[in-house]
Structure 1
Amino acid sequence: MATEISLDDLIGNAYFQTHFHVTAVREVMAETDEKIPLSGVREADGGSRYVSFEKKRAARVTKVLVITLIILALVLTAVAVPVALLASSSSTSPDKLANSVEVKNIMAHLQALNDIANNNTNSPVPSRSVLNQYNASAEYVISVLKSVGYTPYTQSFQVPVNMEYGGSFSIQTSGIPPYVRTFVQKFDFDVMRYSGNGNAQGSLKALSQDASGCNSADYSGVNLGDIVLIQYNSNCTYYDKAKLASENNASAIIFYWNEQNAGLLPSRSRVLGTNLTDFIDLPILSATYGLGRELLNLISTATVVATIETQTSVTIAWTYNVFADTAEGRDDRIVVFGSHLDSVAEGPGINDNGSGSATNLEVAVQVANQKWKPINKVRFAWWGGEELGLLGSKYYVNTLTEEGKSNHSLNLNFDMLASPNFIRQVYTINGSSFAGSDEFVCACYRVQELFEDRFRQKDALYQTGPFGGGSDYVHFMDTNIPAGALATGAGSLKTVEERELFGGFPNAALDTCYHQSCDTVSNIDQTVLGQMADAAAYTLQQVMMMDDLHAFLCNATTEIASYSELSANDNECSQA
């Protein structure tokens, strides 16, 4: 299907404005409504691209238009439409960095991380968590960086490390005979991260149906020693709800999922405040939606006494982030190319997030080996403490001065790039909870376009999904620093529609080994890993070599024709 661009669209293009006398062109073009195809330029849907004008004076139009279209075609031919603004002073192929990043090298880094996890002596499970082999993982990254000429450095900070050793949960109802049931951990319920250690027995009470749990009045019916049942909602944090429950007589808390999420709360869910010692010293469980509904039904007909035990501990430990900066590039146009390096204590974390960290490392190696001289400084970052609550990236952003924040142009984040039952997901600000200036929103769309463009070039299906709260882009975006991100999926179930797009198994987890001991090198899909690494490296090259990165990322006077199209069509799946 053919796509038309109006005269205003063409003249509004920043590249066009830079190279042509807009007023003169507008005067000439206003005299014809002839349509002339842009030879060699293809839209994503395969249609030819046309420029529309308004009156007929073909002879005069042709002279001006041919010059215009030749130059635009030269810029646009290599890539799809939005990338016309990528022109820089360099004539380097836009594929150069991406083509140098090979899966076999990424896999070599992953094997090294897998071996490091297997050397864990602090627990029976291979792990690269803060108290296990994280330091050895960081030392490996640092050694590789030094070997290719970087001067890596670290940033230390303290973290609360939660350990969970077990839990139990049972109920007994009033009545003759009483109904007694003992529930199964990891199936019906689980102990939430940063739960207190202890025992509780009391009457089970649910908040009223319209109560969010975010106000003290919501707990008016809770008596001393009651165990409170609260349905998940995003009105406030788990910590906020738990703190209010604790202050209003509760002896323990059970959070249960909503109808759209039938399983347990995500394993990364945590009851943790903003400070190191913000814990709630009560037993806290998560339950499935089904169990939550069952308990609500029982409460409506009988008195239910619940008995809960949690065995947990919290240790305050030191950990650190790892960084390596390119020697060249503007200090006021920093692009942070980041991934978290730590794993959970329950497994080696080779997909989560060895895949992102190893990709990050190999891209850094190739930037050094090929002697790139970025126009905009690249800061390669490996975050610590992500699995404890995005703590490494949080510490980094919170320690930036206002000037330091303004010097950061962009964060690119890569978390889980090789899930075995994968999707190819490009994150979008559309439909997310993040808000900021028009320039911030526009910049997030710009980066999204770069990722999408690369997948189209490679004929790779992808889908968009809104930024959530589960990876290290969060604290950058909260500070109005634009971000872009890729992922292949974690513990969520693949839908039938996603099966049609990407293959694999519907109604099965995108990564069946997510946060488990089986997340080893055997859990890596090397094909999708290569595709995601290619898109990551391609996008980095474009932004680090851009002459005017801020203009590309949208300043107050910049507009992009595809902005409204992106916001309207973000949730559609696409292919070239």
Structure 2
Amino acid sequence: MIYSVDKRVKSLLVFIGVVIIFILVTLALAAATLSVVVNLLKNTTTHNLFLGSQYAESIKISDVMMHLNELQNIATNANGTRAINTLGFNRTLDYINNYLSSHTNFKVTTDHLYLRNFVIGSNPILITFINGVTVNRIFSTNLSASEFSFLQYTRSANFPTCIPINVIPNLGCSDNDWLAAKLSPNDRVALVKRGDSNFAAKAAFASKYNVTALLLYKDGMNNELPGLFLSYALGQELADAAQNSSNNVSVRITISVADESKYPVGNMCADTPTGDVTQTIVVGTHSDGARAGPGINDNGSGSAASLGLAVALARLFQMSTYEKYRYRVRFCWWGAEEEGLLGSNYHVKQAKLSTVVGERLDDYLIIFNYDMLASPNYMFGVYDGRTVTMNTPSKAIPGTNKMTTVFREWFIRQNLPWTYTEFAGGSDYAPFLAEGIAAGALFSGADEIKSIEERNYYDKMLGQGMGGIAGAIHDPCYHQACDSIQNVNIFAYEKMIQAAVYALEYVARQDDLKGWLYPPDEIQRLNIRQKQRPEYKSINEYFGLPYF
């Protein structure tokens, strides 16, 4: 009997022990599960609040750096450059095309423009005549050590006699300037000062007014005239002399161009398969680099970022939990930016001529431009819509100002510093803005010097030592052989990519993007103000300052 009781007690104790163990294990598992859920929610919420974009969540800087390293490999195996008309440029487009084709279902197309080869046969000659004094001017490709150099893509010239100089007043950016010069009816050489409009615009005016040759203070491209680039000292000497009508000022020019055959340069675009093709968001970046180096910051950083954006968006569109955009997104990689925005300018001209739905310029709502996003002595540069040039169509201004605000507010919410930069026409947004298309853009800096104030501001926001080096330019390797993968600030690069992704998703989620970018009442008010502007104030135009 005692044995039987002990047996029952032991059985009961075993049962109770098993129950206790079960309860403890259950509680432990529940606690662990709860902890995982809480941490997951906490991390997700914090991360989403930090980036403000599900799209931005999906992009990893390591993926973009993989593309950037591949561009470095391409340059390394192609004589150190990715400039147009080189193996490096062609392989860059091949890499982007192949990666898009294998990792997205986007429609990829390539269009080609054709440019002239340019080889100088011998050193050009410039002889000036001022009141009977003849001077054979000093030539060098290094203008700091000479009085003149040749304009890139100049035409050949061989003047048998001296030809008078006509000084174009102001900056040669309008018909009024050229008409005010009272050009001589026969052979004449135009002397034009740099500023406001780019070289191509000045060259177009020169051709329109039938000048024989062009002397300019700034290098450029797209030239159909013989052209030389003068030092400031020589240009001012000739201008001062020619301003006095009693002086006899003329020049003789000899330029020998050895090769003017043509070669193709590719523009590549990749379109989302869904979204309204008559309401297209364009994300643009240039795929070529300067001839001197690999072009990794300028502009491998933009090319790789856009490729990362495209692949991440394609991946999101495959998920049922991510709602597709009502607008088509077109990612484009322009060629020949370094030669004068030629690829983007060609694309805009073709779109203006097109009657194909989805390919017309009117089908474009906005252009995002990403050129140099990873400068080592970086700034978080936000393009300021208030600095668009005075001849920008009014309809582009409201949307451009709104994109300035979108970018600026993102940096503020992330507790990051930011710096305004000007829409001065130096990157591929320019042809679109000129046609009245709103623009938004980021820029980490090129050859501008970082001020002490900017360095201190960035230090204050980011922590001591994070603000960079005052007195140094933002990218010490700008257009140089050292613009390699070592020339990239990964911290700045990641933040710029996140800002770019946020802005794209922000506009793509607008219910009426066209109405948001182009409010009719505001555009009408701007049109009235533009009509009331002074006709010409060169200092305002030079610095890109608006009149209102």
TM over 0.5: yes
| Aligned amino acid, residue 235 of structure 2 | G
Higher fraction of helix: 2
In structure 1, which of residues 215, 225, 237 is the aligned counterpart of residue 178 of structure 2? 215
Q: For residue 114 of structure 1, what is the amino acid of its counterpart?
A: Q
* Counterparts of 2:404 and 2:421, CA distance in 1: 11
What's the offset of the Cα at 1:233?
4.4
Structure 1 residues 81-480: aligned runs within 5 Å: 94-120=52-78, 126-165=81-120, 167-168=123-124, 182-188=138-144, 189-198=148-157, 206-208=165-167, 210=169, 214-215=177-178, 218=181, 220=183, 229-234=191-196, 237-243=201-207, 247-248=210-211, 250=212, 252-256=213-217, 265=218, 269-272=220-223, 279-280=224-225, 282=226, 284-296=227-239, 309=255, 311=257, 313-370=259-316, 371=319, 372-376=322-326, 377-397=328-348, 398-399=350-351, 400-401=354-355, 404=358, 405-433=361-389, 435-438=392-395, 440-480=396-436
- Unpaired segments of 5 or more residues in structure 2? 1-44, 459-466, 524-543
CA displacement at 1:513 relative to structure 2: 3.1
Residue 140 of structure 1 deviates from its aligned partner by 0.7
Match of 2:500 among 503, 523, 536: 536
Higher mean displacement: 145-154 or 234-243:
234-243
The question of whether the paired residues in 1 share the 8 Å contact of 2:283 and 2:332 is answered with yes
Conservation of the 8 A alpha-carbon contact between 1:390 and 1:471? yes
Letter in 1 for 2:433: M
What SS class does the counterpart of residue 541 from structure 1 fall into? Answer: helix
CA shift, 1:141, in A, is 0.8
8 Å CA contact 1:127, 1:349 repeated in 2 = yes
Determine the C-alpha separation between the residues in 1 that align with 2:470 and 2:161: 41
Alignment: residue pair count: 449
Distance 2:521 2:293 in 1: 49
Cα gap change, 1:337/1:315 in structure 2, threshold over 3 Å: closer, same or farther? Answer: same
Is this contact kept in 1: 2:168–2:191, CA < 8 A? no
Q: Taking structure 1 as reference, are residues 333 and 223 closer, same or farther at Cα in structure 2, changes over 3 Å only?
A: closer
* Conservation of the 8 A alpha-carbon contact between 1:200 and 1:308: yes
The CA distance in 2 between the partners of 1:451 and 1:486, in whole Å, is 8
Distance of 2:83 and 2:197 partners within structure 1:
33
Alignment of 1:465-544 (within 5 A): 465-494=421-450, 498-501=454-457, 503-504=467-468, 508-544=472-508
Change (3 A) 1:421 1:223: farther
**Letter aligned with residue 106 of structure 2:** T
Cα distance, 1:304–1:511 mapped onto 2, change above 3 Å: farther
What is the TM-score when the length of structure 1 is the normalising length? 0.66
Secondary structure of the 1:386 match is: coil
CA distance in 2, matches of 1:271, 1:322: 21
Deviation at 1:529, TM superposition (A): 1.4
| Cα deviation, residue 205, structure 1 | 5.5
- Aligned pair in 2 of structure 1 residues 174, 99: CA closer, same or farther (>3 Å)? same
- State the SS of the aligned residue for 1:396: helix
1:419-456 Cα distance to aligned partner (Å, 9 max, x none): 23333221233131253355x42222222211111111
In structure 1, the partner of 2:6 is: none
- SS at 2:417 equivalent: coil
Q: Specify the code of the residue in structure 2 equivalent to 1:449.
A: T
Whether the 8 Å contact between 1:116 and 1:128 is mirrored in structure 2 is: no
Q: 1:455 to 1:353 in 2, by over 3 A?
A: same
Contact 1:157 1:395 survives alignment (8 Å): no
Q: Secondary structure of the equivalent of 2:338?
A: helix
Unaligned runs of 5+ in 1: 1-76, 80-89, 257-264, 273-278, 560-570
Structure-2 separation of matches of 1:92 and 1:459? 10
Does the 8 A contact of 2:51 with 2:414 survive in 1?
no
SS at match of 2:98: helix
| C-alpha deviation, 1:558, in angstroms | 8.8
Give the drift of 1:549: 2.8
SS of residue matched to 1:207? strand
Counterpart amino acid of residue 194 in structure 2: Y
Larger radius of gyration: 2
- In 1, Cα distance between the equivalents of 2:400 and 2:249? 52
Structure 2 Cα separation of the partners of residues 437 and 156 of structure 1: 30
C-alpha distance in 1 between matches for 2:313 and 2:332:
14
Alpha-carbon distance in structure 2 between the residues aligned to 1:552 and 1:455: 21
Taking structure 2 as the reference length, the TM-score comes to 0.69
Please give the alpha-carbon distance, in whole angstroms, between the structure 2 residues aligned to 1:170 and 1:352. Answer: 34
The whole-number CA distance in structure 2 between the counterparts of 1:287 and 1:356 is 33
Distance, in Å, in 1 between the alignment partners of 2:64 and 2:127 is: 50
CA 1:240–1:321: 2 relative to 1, 3 Å: closer
Provide the rounded CA distance (Å) in 1 between the counterparts of 2:483 and 2:293. Answer: 6
TM superposition shift of 1:490: 3.0
Please tell me whether the aligned partners of residues 56 and 502 of structure 2 are also in contact (alpha carbons under 8 angstroms). Answer: yes
- Quote the offset at 1:464 in angstroms: 2.2
Tell me, in whole angstroms, the C-alpha distance in 2 between the residues paired with 1:179 and 1:195: 22
- 1:67-96 residue CA offsets vs partner (Å, 9 max, x unmatched): xxxxxxxxxx999xxxxxxxxxx9998333
**1:504 deviation in Å?**
4.5
Secondary structure of residue in 1 paired with 2:415: coil
State the percentage of identical aligned residues: 29
Counterparts of 1:551 and 1:303 in 2: how far apart (Å)?
56
Note the C-alpha offset of 1:164.
4.5
The answer to whether the Cα contact below 8 Å between 1:227 and 1:306 also exists between their aligned partners in 2 is no
CA RMSD of aligned residues (A): 4.0
Q: CA distance change for structure 1 residues 205 and 304 in 2, over 3 Å: closer, same or farther?
A: closer
**2: CA distance between counterparts of 1:555 and 1:154?**
32
Assess, with a 3 A threshold, how the Cα gap between structure 1 residues 336 and 223 changes in structure 2: closer, same or farther. Answer: closer
Matched, 1:545 2:505: no
SS of residue matched to 2:143: coil
- Alpha-carbon spacing, 1:216–1:541, altered in 2? closer, same or farther (3 Å): closer
